[in-house]
Amino acid sequence: MNPVNIFIFFSAILGIFLMSGTVSANIVINEVELNPVNGTPGDEWIELYNTDVFFVNLSGYVISDPTKNNTLPDDAGIEPNGFFLLTKDLSYFSLLLNNVNEFLTLETPDGQIDDSTLLLSDSAKNSSTWQRRPDGSDDWQFRDETKGESNGGSGGGIPEFPMFIVPVLVMFAGLSLAGKFAPLRL
Ligand SMILES: [Ca+2]
Ligand SMILES: [Ca+2]
């Protein structure tokens, strides 16, 4: 195998490795209403966001704060780049959120921490919420709610490099290994 082919081959391996990093489920706690309009207990809600481009089954995921937790049921799932709301309308969701110094974590079914929030406080009984802006980013902002919808802002989303480059690298590596493509011989 000439040096070019070796380079392409290892590029493909690297691409597959990078792609595998994006294939793991990546669900984030995207928006949190700790203190809803009128401050009614039970009206708090949590918005999850799927940063990946494939459906994720949320069965067995656990949303928690330091003293309470809720496990998501078998029929819970989230569409690619979609949103999932945890509200009192769901019979299984009964997580009352603290207005002050609330800290939430999301665990995968095997107990791995998938995401967590900052230490959040919301003293105003209005429609302002804590939210990642843009969706899935590390930038938390306290602003008007976007329940079940994008938090707005620009940028964010999944890294596009692995998804676009990997199929190309794999194709060239395959052709190269098959001896059908050898554009440069050093
Ligand atoms: Ca509020
Ligand atoms: Ca939102």
In the reported structure, the alpha carbon of residue 178 is separated from the centroid of ligand 2 by a whole-number distance in angstroms of: 48
In the reported structure, the alpha carbon of residue 73 is separated from the centroid of ligand 2 by a whole-number distance in angstroms of: 22
| pLDDT at residue 132 in the model | 97
Query: In the chain, which segments carry CATH 2.60.40.1260?
Result: 27-157
Report helix, strand and coil shares of the chain as percent, to nearest 5: 20, 25, 55
In the reported structure, the alpha carbon of residue 165 is separated from the centroid of ligand 1 by a whole-number distance in angstroms of: 42
Q: Name the closest ligand to CA 122.
A: 1
In the reported structure, the alpha carbon of residue 49 is separated from the centroid of ligand 1 by a whole-number distance in angstroms of: 19
Confidence of residue 183 (pLDDT cuts 50, 70, 90): low
Q: Name the closest ligand to CA 135.
A: 2
- In the numeric block, which tokens belong to residue 128? 């302002």
Q: What is the pTM of this model?
A: 0.72
In the reported structure, the alpha carbon of residue 140 is separated from the centroid of ligand 2 by a whole-number distance in angstroms of: 12
In the reported structure, the alpha carbon of residue 33 is separated from the centroid of ligand 1 by a whole-number distance in angstroms of: 5
Indicate the range of 55-59, 96-100, 132-136, 163-167 predicted with least confidence: 163-167
Q: Name the closest ligand to CA 127.
A: 1
Q: Which fold, 27-157?
A: Immunoglobulin-like (2.60.40)
Answer yes or no: are the C-beta atoms of 170 and 16 closer than 8 Å.
yes
Task: State the residue for tokens 């011989």.
Answer: 185
| pLDDT at residue 21 in the model | 40
pLDDT at 168 over 70: no
pLDDT digits over 9-64, tens only?
A: 555 555 454 444 444 449 999 999 999 998 888 899 999 999 999 999 999 999 99
| Range among 18-22, 124-128, 139-143 with highest mean pLDDT value | 139-143
pLDDT digits over 65-118, tens only?
A: 999 999 999 999 999 999 999 998 898 888 889 999 999 999 999 999 999 999
What are residue 28's DSSP bridge partners?
49
| pLDDT at residue 41 in the model | 85
